[in-house]
């Protein structure tokens, strides 16, 4: 690694560490309110981080619009640098959830391999923010019985904009999200490296949904607000806090 590259990484780490410390000093962890205090709620979620490229830009947008989201992270993406970004998200009031260690097709894995993937990421998250993930989003939304038996967390899906596809432009991403929005809904987007079109789309998605009367909440808060009791042993994939999809 060259000196210049190393210097750049240190500068990036210092910047994110500073932001994480700033957010920590005014920790905004959300307290669950009485269910009657909630109106229309929706959860914005992001997959495939954390990183020091796109994830900070997403956090900037969340702060700018005064909302929270939930991040389903990949364990192998959690480095010293990206952990600082993750801490910033957590201290802003966002949920940090589990999206596996390496994003494999878990339907081709043994129960032991699946558990190792989950535990690795949960351990890394707990080490960084002091709290273990409570929800799991399966890679590719691919599931089978072995996964349900091995994973002791609720499975979360959601509706999205196919924003992992660079051919889908900003306006189409906005249209796809808004067309599917509903009370208790889970929006599935990606904060993977270089996904700047989704970052730009947030400036239209968030105000539009606010105008429709939605409050943005975390995944944890969403299920609480809608009064949905979650059984981690149930064979359900949640796309909405009011609507469930049974496996099999």
Q: Which sequence positions are flagged as catalytic?
A: 47, 190
Crossing angle, helix 3-25 and helix 80-91, to 10 degrees?
Answer: 20
Phi, psi of 73 (to 5 degrees): -100, 155
Residues 6+ apart with CB under 8 A from 197: 163, 166, 168, 169, 170, 173
Instruction: Please name which of 155, 158, 134 lies closest in space to residue 145, comparing C-alpha atoms.
Output: 155
Which strands make up the sheet holding 236-238, listed edge to edge? 155-156, 236-238, 244-246
Nearest by Cα to 58 from 209, 185, 203, 180: 203
Which CB contacts under 8 angstroms, 24+ apart, belong to 10-16?
Answer: 12/52, 12/81, 13/52, 13/80, 13/81, 13/84, 16/52, 16/56, 16/81, 16/84, 16/85, 16/88
- Is 243 within 8 Å of 184 (Cβ atoms)? yes
Distance CA 153, CA 150 (A): 9
Query: Alpha-carbon torsion 83, 85, 90, 91, what sign?
Result: positive
- Helix (H), strand (E) counts: the chain: 8, 9
């Amino acid at each position: 690694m060259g000196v210049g590259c190393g210097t750049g990484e240190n500068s990036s780490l210092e910047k994110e560490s500073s932001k994480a410390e700033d957010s920590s000093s005014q920790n905004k962890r959300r307290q669950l309110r009485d269910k009657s205090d909630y109106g229309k709620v929706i959860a914005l979620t992001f997959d495939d981080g954390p990183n020091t490229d796109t994830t900070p830009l997403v956090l900037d947008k969340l702060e700018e619009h005064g909302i929270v989201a939930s991040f389903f992270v990949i364990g192998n993406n959690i480095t010293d640098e990206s952990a600082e970004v993750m801490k910033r998200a957590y201290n802003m009031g966002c949920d940090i959830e589990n999206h596996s260690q390496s994003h494999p097709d878990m339907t081709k894995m043994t129960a032991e391999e699946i558990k190792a993937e989950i535990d690795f990421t949960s351990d890394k998250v707990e080490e960084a923010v002091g709290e273990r993930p409570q929800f799991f989003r399966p890679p590719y939304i691919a599931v089978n019985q072995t996964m349900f038996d091995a994973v002791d967390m609720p499975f979360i899906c959601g509706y999205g904009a196919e924003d992992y596809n660079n051919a889908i432009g900003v306006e189409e991403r906005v249209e796809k999200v808004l067309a599917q929005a509903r009370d208790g809904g889970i929006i599935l987007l990606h904060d993977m490296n270089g996904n700047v079109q989704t970052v730009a789309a947030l400036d239209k998605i968030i105000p539009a949904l606010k105008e429709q009367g939605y409050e943005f909440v975390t995944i944890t808060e969403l299920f609480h607000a809608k009064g949905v009791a979650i059984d981690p042993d149930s064979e359900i994939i949640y796309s909405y806090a009011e609507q469930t999809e049974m496996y099999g």
